[in-house]
Chains A and B, each alone.
Chain A
Amino acid sequence: AQTVTQSQPEMSVQEAETVTLSCTYDTSENNYYLFWYKQPPSRQMILVIRQEAYKQQNATENRFSVNFQKAAKSFSLKISDSQLGDTAMYFCAFISMMDSSYKLIFGSGTRLLVRP
């Protein structure tokens, strides 16, 4: 069974600095997608970034980028120039391309606090 592990329950970073959130996963499959979702306090969860496992190039979205290490089954999120609005719970998630249930498997989340 696939699993997703986020080993950092809480992190904090000074505004304008860079922070990296860790995520590891376990799967025997070759074709899958990985996601980072953000859940701000009392607001809806939104997609931050998506990575396709067959693409070697790391995905980037403005200040958000990932370090995807397929062999190590690692998928970390780097937030550059942190802003107060980045304060949120961040969830790493996995979905198999072979799984007809279209089921996202989530990690337990990392609560990020950006300090002014």
Chain B
Amino acid sequence: DVKVTQSSRYLVKRTGEKVFLECVQDMDHENMFWYRQDPGLGLRLIYFSYDVKMKEKGDIPEGYSVSREKKERFSLILESASTNQTSMYLCASSRDARSYNEQFFGPGTRLTVL
């Protein structure tokens, strides 16, 4: 079974702090994604990566950056956390570029910015 893990289930940070959210998948998937989940808005794509060191902006990249130095690991970085970034963050991966491939999700990190 594919396993996608995220470094923290819950995280509390202060405004202005730099925040790192880590995601690791163990099935050699090419694609990795970071989503933000908010009530009434569903999931919105922040960034995705289709290969090591390759990244593309999603729908809401402002205030975020990403890093993919190794195939199995995809990091989301909040350069200077703000209260409007309080949310649930979900990481996902999929096997390759074919659009019908299932995305496998991690358990999520609930981030609170005070």
Contact = CB atoms under 8 A, between A and B. Distances in A.
Interface of A: 4, 6, 9, 32-33, 35, 37, 43-47, 50, 52, 91, 95-97, 99-104, 106-109
Interface stretch (B20-28, B74-82, B92-100): B92-100
B71 to A, nearest CB: 16
A32 B97 CA distance: 14
Contacts of B48: 101-103
A106 B99 CA distance: 14
Contact of B103 (A9, A52, A104): A104
Given A52-B100, A102-B99, A108 B40 contact: yes
A111 B37 CA distance: 14
Contacts of A35: 102
Interface string B58-69: 110000000000
Contacts of B44: 106
B45 A46 contact: no
A45 B100 contact: no
A102 B97 contact: yes
A114 to B, nearest CB: 21
Contacts of A32: 99
A42 B102 CA distance: 21
Contacts of B50: 102
